[in-house]
Amino acid sequence: MDVGLALPQYDGFSVPGQAHLPWSTTARWAQGADRAGLHSVWLSDHLAFTVERYGGPPGLHSGFDPIVGLAALARQTTRVRLGTLVLSVPLRPPSIAAKALSGIDRASQGRVIVGLGAGNFEPDFEQAGIPFEPPGTRLARLADAIAVMRGTFAGGPFDHHGPFYETANLRNRPPAVQQPSPPIWVGGKGGPKLLQLVAEHADGWNLCWTATPDDYATRLDALAGHRDPATVDLSLGLYTLIGEDAADVRRRFERLKEHAPPGTVPAATVDEYRRGRLVGTVEEVQEQLRQWSGLGIRLVVACLGAVPFSVTHPDDLDALDLLAAAATEGVS
């Protein structure tokens, strides 16, 4: 079982006390994950982001572009894998996105994981000045984009005539290091149409940020109707709270409630907070990881804050060592 980290990325909420998030903070957490031996670090893709959808106050927040961010991290880290969770496909021509990611794969010596999504946050589309298409259209666009990106990663020449994108004699030099393509994962909650798309077009699937084993098993059954889940790289993003002992877990939970955006911690006690999340001591988290591994999960992406791509406290980097210990001790 591997464990990765969702990096703090956005102004206003990602790191308590840092209303204007400096790049040095994001890089510090990525480098901490690298030193701790975690599997991967991840950035999301939003022109505008809000915590209102997670129970927090209204307002739009901005953050670092994931492609630019991963390019910087390619030179600021040495071994940790670099992923997008997830790129919103409609925001960029897929050949251009794949060209940029090929460069990052080169700079990082083959460490890129390409997470893609159909795009589900309408303010992103408004700010980009592009139509917010119906869900079925966005999913079809995603499938077409994956085909273009695979062809681009390989270097070409590549011709494609799809319902949304066309290329003629497309060449990408130098191509990505990982051939024929870096891993392409699709992110989403796991409705029937999305799981069919995963089965037909993707190398992996990610769901986040809360889940129970029973709920996830139901989605796996749906995926199995299209493809053997054992042939899919299964990853799961989970809100995570880990401590050295029970008292430390409680202390960290109280600090989470104190510093998280108002309304985003839907629990009064740490025991209530456990449901659907990765919570506990190193030993308890190990056991939870074993459960997820038993369902075929290969990677858990930990989010250390109460909302996506945030952390509980700017000084909680020791949680990275605790996560690494939980991932390596007794989990196969």
Please give the pLDDT value at position 154: 96
Instruction: Reply yes or no on whether the pLDDT at 330 is more than 70.
Output: no
Span 202-224, mean pLDDT?
Answer: 96
Span 138-157, mean pLDDT?
Answer: 97
- Reported as a single tens digit per residue, the pLDDT across 267-289 is 999 999 999 999 999 999 999 99
Tell me if the pTM is above 0.75.
yes
Instruction: Reply yes or no on whether the pLDDT at 217 is more than 50.
Output: yes
Instruction: Reply yes or no on whether the pLDDT at 57 is more than 50.
Output: yes
CATH class held by domain 2-328: alpha beta
Beta bridge partners of 297: 234
Tell me the residue type at 272.
Answer: E
Q: Where do the domains of the chain lie?
A: 2-328
Instruction: Reply yes or no on whether the pLDDT at 234 is more than 50.
Output: yes
The total number of residues shown for the chain amounts to 332
Rounded CA-CA distance 6/24 in Å is 16
Sign of CA dihedral 203, 207, 211, 216: negative
Rounded CA-CA distance 79/108 in Å is 8
- Reported as a single tens digit per residue, the pLDDT across 160-199 is 999 999 999 999 999 999 999 999 999 999 899 999 999 9
Span 77-99, mean pLDDT?
Answer: 98
Span 36-64, mean pLDDT?
Answer: 96
How big is the CA angle at 133 (ends 132 and 138), to the nearest 5 degrees?
115
Span 118-123, mean pLDDT?
Answer: 95
Beta bridge partners of 2: 299
Q: To the nearest whole percent, how much of the chain has pLDDT over 90?
A: 97
Rounded CA-CA distance 306/14 in Å is 9
Tell me the residue type at 316.
Answer: D
Rounded CA-CA distance 6/237 in Å is 8
Task: List Cβ neighbours of 128 (8 Å cut-off, separation of 6 or more).
Answer: 47, 90, 91
Name the residue among 148, 145, 154, 131 with its Cα closest to residue 197.
145
User: Which pLDDT band, with edges at 50, 70 and 90, does 151 fall under?
Assistant: very high
Mapped onto helix, strand or coil, the DSSP state of residue 250 is: helix
Residue 230 DSSP class: G
Instruction: Reply yes or no on whether the pLDDT at 293 is more than 60.
Output: yes
Span 213-226, mean pLDDT?
Answer: 96
Q: To the nearest whole percent, how much of the chain has pLDDT over 70?
A: 99
Q: How far is residue 32 from each of residues 16, 56, 179, 234, 305, measured CA to CA in Å?
A: 18, 28, 29, 25, 16
Instruction: Reply yes or no on whether the pLDDT at 137 is more than 90.
Output: yes
CB 172 within 8 A of CB 99: yes
Task: Quote the mean pLDDT of the chain.
Answer: 96
CB 201 within 8 A of CB 239: no
How big is the CA angle at 175 (ends 169 and 178), to the nearest 5 degrees?
130
Instruction: Reply yes or no on whether the pLDDT at 332 is more than 80.
Output: no
Rounded CA-CA distance 222/78 in Å is 38
